[in-house]
Amino acid sequence: MALDAGIGGPDNDILTQLLLARGVAPDDLTRHAAPSLREFLPDPSAFLDMDLAAERLAQAILGGERITIYGDYDVDGATSAALLIDLLRQLGVAAEYYIPDRLLEGYGPSGEALVRLAEQGSSLVVTVDCGAMAFDALRQAREAGLDVIVVDHHKCAAEIPPAVALVNPNRLDESDLAASHGHLAAVGVAFLLAIALVRTLRSRDYFAGRQEPDLMRLLDLVALGTVADVAMLRGLNRAFVTQGLKIMARRQRIGMAALIDASRITRAPQSSDLGFALGPRINAGGRVGESTLGVRLLTTNDPDEAREIAAQLSALNDERRVIEAEVQEAAEAQIASMDNHSVQIFSGEGWHPGVIGIVAGRLKEKTGKPAFVIALDRETGLGKGSGRSITGVDLGAAVIAAKDAGLLKAGGGHAMAAGITIEPEHLRPFAEFLEQRLAAKIDAARANRVLELDLSIAPGGMVPDLVEVLEQAAPFGVGWPAPRIAVGPVRIVKADVVGSDHLRVIAAGDDGRSFKGIAFRAATSEMGQTLLHRSSGRRFHLSGRAKIDDWGNRPAVELHLDDAAFAD
């Protein structure tokens, strides 16, 4: 079945249409069809302070200084830290690392920790995935004689914190070229710094008697951090993930291989695996366990240690799921009181701060509105909050504005996600501030929502060849969605609930062909209830993503449903 043979010539094949539908210009199809670093990588020197950061790192390496990598406790922070540690090891430098505890220290570098690192002998600290708004902490570091390089991607203020260098494409004073890469995760920015550092050392003849580091082997870390941090998979990020998945499939990194095995992935990893299997396990360490586990796993050279940490992270991830379900149930009980709110703010005493970001994402998907979930300390009332936004609504900028207005003790983020620390008496004023600032933008974004379809087929078209062709446009993620197809008309032969609120259906078409479908966490939704109670009778068009189901003797195609409509 030659699905990729289009009508009217090669410019009309399915892959071309998928690329065009995702905003690729007709004269730019070739490089997007097979994204490579050669085609998308910018000159790192285009970013402000990049050369300054590379020069200071080179100076530290040549001078034998003690270097510490200060990372965040999530996947982006862990992969960014692991990337620089791996690079420095290849350069002959045994770098230290410091990952703060989410519950005890909170997000970002603290002045106390930086001063302590200086007292322990570090003369240079590189913060990754944090630091862009750490004015007080960096000021304390400077007073202690500690140089700090900030490598970040979060929203910045107009004022620049007192660091030796701030490398961040989201600086407000960045050039247009650098700012166009504002969608990079911190690990992507760290990779650009790695290139700049090697180039600087090369100019100093550092490699006259030694081998240059293999930068390509770092791309498995870049791919994992990019996808797990829900960065936009456009341009350079698609090249990072495409090439990184190839590196990951070679299983050269001992810790990554152990993580893949612990996730029970037996084929070459795909982009979706990074977001739904590998990433959550790394995150579990920072959320409900030990914050250093992710970096330790990704930098170890001991297979036994790697298997042990990977198993520990899997157990913590199971624990995280239980905690998350409890917080989500408590938060969902508050939905009814928020029908008229554009930004939904959920709060509760004793909620685990390690899962609030995940729950905020779930509630955002459930309600179609930006959501904040705030865990209130039982003793002090101080709230730690995490927010998730919808496309077209910049939550990070709103949080920074709220902080500038005196409503938050701390806050920052990017367009789709943000974190806050808030006093209990400011909860209502913060909600009113967001409502006034974002309501019109949210209404516009919701009004413009459409269900975009890439292909409409009869049930007989649900064959493995179809998935193979659609996968040619991978990797998929935020900003580059997996193809959505419509299948129909069909009758629902069978519908039941499986697992935790998942809807399973068997649908049959007029052409005599049938296929399986599943809608995750949708059994109680309007769509789920409609399909459950109309298992015979009216016909439907079903929409979703076609996936290979290899359970059984022969691979088959199933539909991961996201919507349904009556066909008659």
End-to-end CA distance of the chain: 30
Q: Tell me the average pLDDT across 286-310.
A: 95
Higher pLDDT, 106 or 172: 172
Question: At 183, is the secondary structure helix, strand, or coil?
Answer: coil
> In the predicted model, is pLDDT for residue 554 greater than 80?
no
490 and 438 inside one domain: no
| 467 in any annotated domain | yes
175 and 206 inside one domain: yes
- Inter-CA distances, 469 with 3, 109, 463, Å: 7, 46, 11
254 and 311 inside one domain: yes
The two beta strands, 556-566 and 540-549, are antiparallel
Best CA proximity match to 494, nearest among 468, 532, 464, 526: 532
| 327 in any annotated domain | no
| 376 in any annotated domain | yes
pLDDT in tens, 522-545: 888 889 999 998 755 789 999 999
240 and 96 inside one domain: yes
440 and 467 inside one domain: no
| 532 in any annotated domain | yes
Helices (H), 333-392: 356-367
The CATH number of the domain where 459 resides is what? 2.40.50.140
- Under a CB-based contact definition with an 8 Å cutoff, are residues 57 and 164 in contact? no
Best CA proximity match to 126, nearest among 183, 67, 195: 67
The phi and psi torsions of 19 (rounded to 5 degrees) equal: -65, -45
Confidence of residue 398 (pLDDT cuts 50, 70, 90): very high
| 183 in any annotated domain | yes
The C-alpha atoms of residue 198 and residue 195 are separated, in whole angstroms, by 5
**pLDDT value at residue 277:** 96
Confidence of residue 289 (pLDDT cuts 50, 70, 90): confident
Q: Of the residues 256, 289, 315, which one is the last residue of a structural domain?
A: 315
**pLDDT value at residue 105:** 85
Alpha carbon 377 to its chain centroid, in Å, reads 27
The C-alpha atoms of residue 119 and residue 113 are separated, in whole angstroms, by 10
**pLDDT value at residue 559:** 97
The C-alpha atoms of residue 5 and residue 411 are separated, in whole angstroms, by 51
> In the predicted model, is pLDDT for residue 343 greater than 90?
yes
The phi and psi torsions of 507 (rounded to 5 degrees) equal: -115, 145
> In the predicted model, is pLDDT for residue 395 greater than 60?
yes
**Total domain count for the chain?**
3
Prediction pTM value:
0.89
| 26 in any annotated domain | no
The CATH number of the domain where 118 resides is what? 3.90.1640.30
> In the predicted model, is pLDDT for residue 42 greater than 80?
yes
> In the predicted model, is pLDDT for residue 366 greater than 60?
yes
395 and 255 inside one domain: no
Q: Which domain holds residue 389?
A: 333-444
154 and 207 inside one domain: yes
Q: Tell me the average pLDDT across 416-445.
A: 94
**pLDDT value at residue 10:** 41
Confidence of residue 131 (pLDDT cuts 50, 70, 90): very high
Locate 213 and state its tokens.
């580091």
| 179 in any annotated domain | yes
Locate 106 and state its tokens.
């909170």
Confidence of residue 38 (pLDDT cuts 50, 70, 90): very high
Higher pLDDT, 337 or 96: 96
The CATH number of the domain where 403 resides is what? 3.10.310.30
Q: Of the residues 425, 444, 463, which one is the last residue of a structural domain?
A: 444
281 and 357 inside one domain: no
The C-alpha atoms of residue 392 and residue 449 are separated, in whole angstroms, by 10
> Percentage of the chain surpassing pLDDT 90?
83
The C-alpha atoms of residue 399 and residue 412 are separated, in whole angstroms, by 6
CB atoms within 10 A of CB 496: 12
74 and 109 inside one domain: yes
**pLDDT value at residue 552:** 63
381 and 286 inside one domain: no
Confidence of residue 461 (pLDDT cuts 50, 70, 90): very high
- Under a CB-based contact definition with an 8 Å cutoff, are residues 412 and 154 in contact? yes
CB atoms within 10 A of CB 500: 10
Confidence of residue 9 (pLDDT cuts 50, 70, 90): very low
**pLDDT value at residue 4:** 40
> In the predicted model, is pLDDT for residue 363 greater than 90?
yes
pLDDT in tens, 193-235: 999 999 999 999 999 989 999 999 999 999 999 999 989 999 9
Q: Of the residues 444, 472, 503, which one is the last residue of a structural domain?
A: 444
- Under a CB-based contact definition with an 8 Å cutoff, are residues 67 and 57 in contact? yes
**pLDDT value at residue 11:** 43
- Name which of 149-163, 187-201, 239-253, 447-461 the model is least confident about: 447-461
| 114 in any annotated domain | yes
Please state, rounded to an integer, the average pLDDT across all residues of the chain.
93
The two beta strands, 383-388 and 371-376, are antiparallel
296 and 274 inside one domain: yes
- Name which of 8-17, 234-243, 385-394, 415-424 the model is least confident about: 8-17
Confidence of residue 448 (pLDDT cuts 50, 70, 90): confident
**pLDDT value at residue 8:** 33
The phi and psi torsions of 110 (rounded to 5 degrees) equal: -105, 150
76 and 122 inside one domain: yes
Residue 535's Cβ-side half-sphere holds a number of Cα atoms within 13 Å equal to 11
- Which helix H or strand E contains 136, and what residues bound it? helix 135-143
DSSP letter string, 434-490: HHHHHHHHHHHHHHT-----SEEE-GGG-SHHHHHHHGGG---BTTBPPP-EEEEEE
